[in-house]
Amino acid sequence: MIKMTDDVEFEVLQHMSGNFLCEKFPDNWRDMNDDEQMEFMEENVWEPLENLLTSEVYQIIDNAAANAIQFMTKKGLIR
């Protein structure tokens, strides 16, 4: 069983970002300022999502990560 930490939560978010961007969030994502994060997402957004606002794409990624964490918690994989 994995203990839920901020690092584990970020790893899930980072992994999920790869489903909606051409490149997953970089390891230094949390050190980037808001403008740098938005620029990264704009440059790497998956083509079917490119007409969405960057904030909407982030919300999709964040929701996917939250759902993955909820699933893993329910299955007893993380606590």
**Tens digit of each residue's pLDDT (9 = 90 or more) over 33-71:** 999 999 999 999 999 999 999 999 999 999 999 999 999
If one counts every other C-beta atom within 10 angstroms of the C-beta of residue 30, the result is 13
In 1-79, which residue ranges form alpha helices assigned H by DSSP? 6-17, 34-44, 54-74
Which H or E run contains 57? helix 54-74
Whether the full predicted model's pTM is greater than 0.85, yes or no, is yes
Position 25 scores a pLDDT of 98
For the chain, the structural domain boundaries read: 6-74
**pLDDT at position 2 over 90:** no
Position 79 scores a pLDDT of 87
Measured CA to CA, the distance from residue 73 to residue 1 in angstroms comes to 10
